[in-house]
C-alpha cells in the first residue's frame, strides 16, 4: 500500500457499505464508495448520529447539553429534527447518564449516551464496569444492554490541562463485556460509530477532540459501517512496525516520513478497536519487520501499549530483533504549560524508531562457535542467521 499523509487521509481498506442494516456489525467486505462530502470529524459524528436516529426509531441521544448541540457541536440539529423526546439534556451526573442508558438499552432501545469529556467518565465507572459490562453474563444471556453506546471526547487539545486532556482508555480495556473503539479520521469515525451503535455489545467510543475540526476528508454521505476488531495497515514497511490509535496516528505518520528519509522503512498500523483488539494483524507485521513500537498519549505505566507489548512478545519472541519500544505520555498528571514535554511527539517517536532499528546486543564474547546439521540456527531472539552443515565462526 502506498504511503500517504494522514492529513490527506487517503487510506486503503476503508470498510463496507451496508445501507439501513440496523442490528449487526459489518461482515461483508464491500468497499466504501469514495464519492462524498468534505467534512471534519465532528461533522462526521453528527452525520452518523442523524443516520442512527433516522434508521432506528428506538435510538435516543442524551447527555449534558446535547439538546443545543453540545460543547463540541456534535449533536447540532438533532433535537430540532427528531424532537426533544429522542434528543435531550440530562443533569450533570455521569453516573445517572450511564445508568439511565443501561436501563434504556436493556428494554431493547439504542441508547447513545454522551459524556462531555472523558476526564469526567469516572463517576460512571461503576455503572460501566459492574453493570453494563456484566449485564449479559450475570443473566446467562437472558438479558443484555448491548444497545448502549457511550460517546466521549478524549485526549490532548493544546490547552486543556489536567481535567480536559486525559486518555483513560486503558481503564476500560481491563473489563470483559465492553468494547473500546477510537477512530483516527472523519470517515473512520462515521463508519465505526454506526457499527458501535448497531453492535450487540455495550461500547465506549472515544473521540479524539484534537481532530474534531483539524481532520478533514471526503466522507460518504450514505449509511455505511466499518468492521470492529479489525486493525488497518495504513502504511507498509519492512524495518519496524508502529502501532497506535486516534489522534496519535498523525504524529506517528510524520515520524515515519522522517524515518524514511534516513532509509528506515516503517509499517504503521491503526488498531481502531482496543478491546477486543486485532492481534493477528499486528503479529503478522512484527513477524515481518522484527521490531515493534507502540505510541499513545496515556501514561506509559499501565497504558494499553503494555498489553500489546506483552502479547506480541509471547507470540513473536523468537522473531524480535530488539526490545519492544513504547513512546507514551509521562507518569504524571496531565500538565498545562508543560504539555509539550508530556506529549509523545514526532521527535520522540523518531528517536525511538532509530534506537530500535539500530539496536544490538553485547554478548561479552569475542566469538561464537556454532555447528549445526540443520539449515537454520537461532542464537537468541535478537540474533538469528542461516548456516550450513559446516562449523561457522561469527565475530561479535
Distance between CA 132 and CA 270 in Å, rounded? 27
Which regions of the chain does DSSP assign to beta strands (E)? 37-40, 59-63, 87-89, 110-114, 148-154, 179-181, 203-208, 216-219, 232-235, 240-244, 266-270, 273-275, 292-299, 325-329, 367-370, 376-378, 384-386, 392-395
Q: Could you tell me if 16 and 227 are in contact, meaning their C-beta atoms sit under 8 angstroms apart? A: yes
* Nearest CA among 109, 106, 41, 42 for reference residue 71: 42
Distance between CA 345 and CA 329 in Å, rounded? 9
CA distances from residue 213 to 41, 146, 244 in whole angstroms, order as listed: 6, 30, 21
Helix extents (H) in 181-320: 186-198, 248-261, 279-289, 304-316
Please say if 174 is a catalytic residue: no
* Nearest CA among 265, 269, 192 for reference residue 12: 269
For the record, the C-alpha cell of 184 comes out as 483516527
Distance between CA 385 and CA 71 in Å, rounded? 57
Pairing, β 240-244 against β 203-208: unpaired
Distance between CA 323 and CA 116 in Å, rounded? 38
Catalytic residue among 164, 207, 267, 296: 164
Catalytic residue among 64, 94, 207, 253: 94
Count of CB atoms within 10 A of residue 288's CB? 15
Active site amino acids: 94, 164
Amino acid at each position: 500500500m502506498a504511503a500517504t499523509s494522514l492529513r490527506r487521509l487517503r487510506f486503503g481498506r476503508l470498510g463496507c457499505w451496508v445501507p439501513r442494516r440496523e442490528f449487526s456489525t459489518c461482515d461483508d467486505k464491500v468497499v466504501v464508495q469514495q464519492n462524498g462530502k468534505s467534512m471534519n470529524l465532528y461533522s462526521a459524528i453528527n452525520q452518523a448520529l442523524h443516520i442512527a436516529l433516522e434508521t432506528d426509531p428506538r435510538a435516543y441521544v442524551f447527555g449534558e447539553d446535547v439538546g443545543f448541540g453540545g460543547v463540541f457541536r456534535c449533536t447540532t440539529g438533532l433535537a430540532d429534527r427528531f424532537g426533544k423526546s429522542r434528543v435531550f439534556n440530562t443533569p450533570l451526573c455521569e453516573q445517572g447518564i450511564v445508568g439511565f442508558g443501561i436501563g434504556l438499552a436493556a428494554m431493547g432501545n439504542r441508547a447513545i449516551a454522551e459524556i462531555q469529556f472523558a476526564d469526567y467518565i469516572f463517576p460512571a465507572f461503576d455503572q460501566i464496569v459492574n453493570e453494563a459490562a456484566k449485564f449479559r453474563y450475570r443473566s446467562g444471556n437472558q438479558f443484555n444492554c448491548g444497545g448502549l453506546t457511550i460517546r466521549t471526547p478524549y485526549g490532548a487539545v493544546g490547552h486543556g490541562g489536567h481535567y480536559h486532556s486525559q486518555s483513560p482508555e486503558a481503564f476500560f480495556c481491563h473489563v470483559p463485556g465492553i468494547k473500546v473503539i477510537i477512530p483516527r479520521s472523519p470517515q473512520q469515525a462515521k463508519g465505526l460509530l454506526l457499527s458501535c451503535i448497531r453492535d450487540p455489545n455495550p461500547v465506549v467510543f472515544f473521540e479524539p477532540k484534537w481532530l474534531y475540526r483539524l481532520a478533514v476528508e471526503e466522507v460518504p454521505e450514505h449509511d455505511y459501517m466499518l468492521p470492529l476488531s479489525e486493525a488497518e495497515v495504513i502504511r507498509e514497511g519492512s524495518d519496524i512496525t508502529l502501532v497506535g490509535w486516534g489522534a496519535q496516528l498523525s504524529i506517528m505518520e510524520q515520524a515515519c516520513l522522517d524515518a524514511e528519509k534516513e532509509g528506515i522503512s516503517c509499517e504503521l498500523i491503526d488498531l481502531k478497536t482496543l478491546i477486543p483488539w486485532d492481534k493477528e494483524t499486528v503479529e503478522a507485521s512484527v513477524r515481518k519487520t522484527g521490531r515493534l513500537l507502540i505510541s499513545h498519549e496515556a501514561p506509559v505505566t499501565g497504558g494499553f501499549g503494555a498489553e500489546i507489548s506483552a502479547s506480541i512478545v509471547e507470540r513473536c519472541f523468537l522473531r524480535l530483533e530488539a526490545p519492544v519500544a513504547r513512546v507514551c505520555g509521562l507518569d504524571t498528571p496531565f500538565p498545562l504549560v508543560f504539555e509539550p514535554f508530556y506529549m509523545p511527539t514526532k521527535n520522540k517517536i523518531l528517536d525511538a524508531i532509530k534506537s530500535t532499528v539500530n539496536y544490538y546486543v553485547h554478548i561479552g564474547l569475542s566469538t561464537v562457535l556454532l555447528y549445526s546439521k540443520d539449515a537454520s540456527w537461532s542464537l537468541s531472539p535478537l540474533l538469528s542467521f542461516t548456516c550450513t552443515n559446516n562449523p561457522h565462526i561469527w565475530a561479535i
